[in-house]
């Protein structure tokens, strides 16, 4: 059996997007249903990876080690709820740096593939931003847009790529995915 991988954005999908940056574990607030959705994915045999833009590093708002504290908090809460995160890839660059890893570029997905020795082509990619959907389409993933976070704003964009589905939150998207 081939492992089933899925890619999740972080802010606006798993946790509430602060319209700024989550810089400490105490600022990390799970969106209602996200822990249950991740548990359901894990129980359904999916291996969960995260691809997240974190320009707060380049902007010197937090350090890589401070971001690691936030991620460790998230991972521990997820594991205590019955879910599992296999891997987190993050882009530390600001948009003006024109890197190859900031979504909608596909560098985070390439790094995930290389580090894990896997293929993400055809995997579901769940996000709330137009950049998430662009990354998914550009890499050959199956884009799923959530209405949480920036989702409503993304839905109004004329340049939003075609997506496979639009859901109220992560749990609703997971219920669709596990039936596929």
Structure confidence at residue 1 (pLDDT): 35
What is the value of pTM for the model shown?
A: 0.96
Give per-residue pLDDT as tens, 153-178: 999 999 999 999 999 999 999 999 99
Asked if 64 is an active-site residue, the reply is no
**Angle at Cα 150 formed by Cα 147 and Cα 155, nearest 5°?**
60
Asked if 132 is an active-site residue, the reply is no
**What confidence category does residue 114 fall into, taking pLDDT thresholds of 50, 70 and 90?**
very high
Give per-residue pLDDT as tens, 33-89: 999 999 999 999 999 999 999 999 999 999 999 999 999 999 999 999 999 999 999
Residue 69 to residue 56: CA distance in whole angstroms = 14
Instruction: Residue 15: give the domain boundaries.
Output: 4-177
Residue 128 to residue 11: CA distance in whole angstroms = 8
Helix (H, G, I), strand (E, B) or coil at 38: helix
Residue 174 to residue 96: CA distance in whole angstroms = 34
Show the tokens assigned to 84: 């599992």
Q: What total of structural domains would you count in the chain?
A: 1
Residue 149 to residue 12: CA distance in whole angstroms = 4
Strand order in 124-127's β-sheet? Answer: 85-91, 46-53, 4-8, 124-127, 142-146, 165-167
Catalytic site residue from 11, 17, 132, 169: 11
Catalytic site residue from 9, 17, 132, 169: 9
> Which CATH number goes with the domain that contains 44?
3.40.50.1000
For the chain, percent of residues with pLDDT exceeding 70: 99
């Amino acid at each position: 059996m081939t492992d089933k991988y899925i890619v999740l954005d972080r802010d606006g999908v798993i946790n509430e997007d602060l319209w700024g940056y989550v810089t400490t574990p105490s600022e990390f607030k799970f969106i209602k249903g996200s822990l249950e959705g991740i548990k359901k994915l894990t129980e359904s045999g999916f291996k969960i990876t995260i691809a997240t833009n974190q320009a707060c590093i380049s902007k010197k708002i937090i350090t890589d080690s401070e971001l690691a504290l936030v991620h460790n908090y998230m991972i521990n809460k997820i594991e205590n709820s019955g879910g599992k995160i296999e891997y987190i890839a993050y882009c530390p660059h600001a948009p003006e740096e024109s890197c190859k890893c900031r979504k909608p570029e596909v560098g985070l997905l390439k790094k995930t593939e290389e580090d894990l020795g896997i293929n993400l082509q055809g995997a579901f990619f769940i996000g709330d931003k137009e950049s998430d959907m662009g990354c998914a389409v550009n890499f050959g993933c199956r884009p799923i847009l959530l209405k949480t976070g920036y989702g409503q704003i993304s839905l109004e964009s004329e340049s939003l790529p075609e997506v496979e589905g639009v859901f109220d939150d992560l749990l609703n998207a997971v219920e669709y995915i596990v039936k596929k």
